[in-house]
Amino acid sequence: MMGIKTLRVLASVAVLAVAGSALADDAATTIKARKDYFHGLGKAMKASGEEFKKSPPSITELQKLAAILDAEAPKLPSQFPAGSGPESGVKTEALADIWAKPDAFRKAAADLATAAHAYNLTAQKGDLAATGAALKAVGAACGACHRQFKAKDEH
């Protein structure tokens, strides 16, 4: 016969197992949403670059894309809740340093928000050359964070 103590232990093990898999599910959902989020940024950046290859580029189109990036960039830090790193067991290119060096990560994210905001303000003024330079600065802010906090693509 199992004693009451054994039953309690078994019950708490079962609760832990359920909690553990709920956490893994949470991480999977968070990481999927995060990748979708970055795909959105990537799309807006790629479309911006493509626009500049046209002659002439459409400033109206660039204004729309810059506004998207300006609105989306400040949402970056919230894509990285604790527990959504490599320790989650879910496939992710997010490096553990994001959580180990939170100040540096926050700064990299803030630099992007600043650059995206400048891109938007510049585009709204309608000067194509200045808008192109502002777009380059956004790209540099993406790359600066990736170099520090994102694992290299396998593909």
Q: How far is the CB of 88 from ligand HEC (least distance, A)?
A: 10
> Coil, strand or helix: which one is 6?
helix
> Coil, strand or helix: which one is 89?
coil
Greatest distance between any 2 Cα atoms in the chain? 83
Say which residue the tokens 């670059």 belong to: 49
Counting contacts by CB under 6 A, is residue 94 touching ligand HEC?
Answer: yes
Counting contacts by CB under 6 A, is residue 136 touching ligand HEC?
Answer: no
Q: Find the binding residues for ligand HEC in span 112-131 (CB under 6 A).
A: 112
C-beta atoms surrounding 83 within 10 Å: 13
Q: How far is the CB of 8 from ligand HEC (least distance, A)?
A: 38
Q: Find the binding residues for ligand HEC in span 37-76 (CB under 6 A).
A: 38-39, 41-42, 45, 76
Q: Which stretch binds ligand HEC (CB under 6 A): 11-19, 51-59, 124-132, 139-147?
A: 139-147
- Two tokens at 154? 């396998």
